[in-house]
Amino acid sequence: MSGTEELLVERDGNVLIITLNRPDRMNAISGPMLSALSTTLQEANVDPEVRAVVLTGAGRGFCAGLDLKDQMSGEGMGAGQRGYRLFDLHNSPPIVINRMDKPMICALNGAAAGYGMDMALGCDIRIASENARLGAVFAKRGVLPESGGCWLLPRLIGWAKAAEVAFLGDVLDAQRSLELGLVNRVVPHDELMNETMKMAHKIADNAPLSVQSTKRMMRLGMDETFEVAVDHTYLQLLPLFQSDDFKEGLSAFAEKRDPQFKGR
């Protein structure tokens, strides 16, 4: 996986770090950045060497949303279109993030608004800098949470709190985001990446097939009855019993040592 000028990609062991890199525009989303992000995530999802993904932003912001300068000039998403039309979002970042079996952590280094907020919410875990803010300002821009937010918010924090966040259109600071349950923890700004990488590596040290199967079953279970979810989980469990990592987990437990998982 290689990055671009607008999307930096680096590897730290089994952790892939993706950095939105338009700091002069608060990492506002451009077309090339969207395409590169989708491609990178899809490649990471099938790369056996990647066990966790960290998504963050360069500079003082995480992502200011869609590039409004492009939108106002008619060069952004939906250019030349009015009203409804059929369009293909199959490989757009929100869909790709939702499909990911690899765990994703958002290192929320600053403001996330609009599309950027939805991308952050799409990650499995959010660790926020004390400087982070979530700009749920859709209603004040004449739009709606278009990139997954309408689906994600009620599932993350319940209907009443989601309605409050979406309808008021306020900017939520890190502490308020923590109180609402929109982020997992808040850390000092200078410690954000260190704390995020500690968690990412701890996840990556676990059996990757187990982690990925668990995430898949959690995701599918949100739209299944309990009985169907139990059946699907059992079918996921059977091949795990046959894996080398399962045997290694049992051996490590019996021998009182840390397991060394290989992802097979």
For the chain, what is the HEC assignment? CCCCCCEEEEEECCEEEEEECCHHHCCCECHHHHHHHHHHHHHHHHCCCCCEEEEEECCCEEECCECHHHHHHCCCCCCCCCCCCCCCCCCCHHHHHHHCCCCEEEEECCEEECHHHHHHHHCCEEEEECCCEEECCHHHCCCCCCCCHHHHHHHHHCHHHHHHHHHHCCEEEHHHHHHHCCCCEEECHHHHHHHHHHHHHHHHCCCHHHHHHHHHHHHHHCCCCHHHHHHHHHHHHHHHHCCHHHHHHHHHHHHCCCCCCCCC
Enumerate residues 6+ apart whose C-beta is below 8 A from 126: 105, 106, 108, 120, 182, 183, 184
What angle do helix axes 244-255 and 208-221 make, rounded to 10 degrees?
110
CATH class of 7-204: alpha beta
Tell me phi and psi for residue 15, to 5 degrees: -110, 130
Please give the structure tokens belonging to residue 58.
Answer: 């360069």
State residue 87's pLDDT score. Answer: 53
State residue 79's pLDDT score. Answer: 47
State residue 68's pLDDT score. Answer: 63
Domain borders along the chain are 7-204, 208-255
Buried b (16+ CB within 10 A) or exposed e, 43-60: ebbeeeebbbbbbbbbbe
Answer whether 111's CB lies under 8 Å from 129's CB: no
Query: Is there a common fold for 7-204 and 208-255?
Result: no
Answer whether 71's CB lies under 8 Å from 30's CB: no
State residue 137's pLDDT score. Answer: 86
Sign of CA dihedral 163, 27, 92, 140: positive
Would you give per-residue pLDDT tens digits along the chain (264 residues)? 667 899 999 999 999 999 999 999 999 988 888 889 999 999 999 999 999 999 999 999 999 987 766 545 555 554 455 554 555 567 788 889 999 999 999 999 999 998 999 999 999 999 999 999 999 888 888 877 778 888 999 999 999 999 999 999 899 999 999 999 999 999 999 999 999 999 999 999 999 999 999 999 999 998 899 999 999 998 989 999 999 999 999 999 999 999 999 999
Give the fold, CATH level 3, of 208-255.
Answer: Lyase 2-enoyl-coa Hydratase; Chain  A, domain 2 (1.10.12)
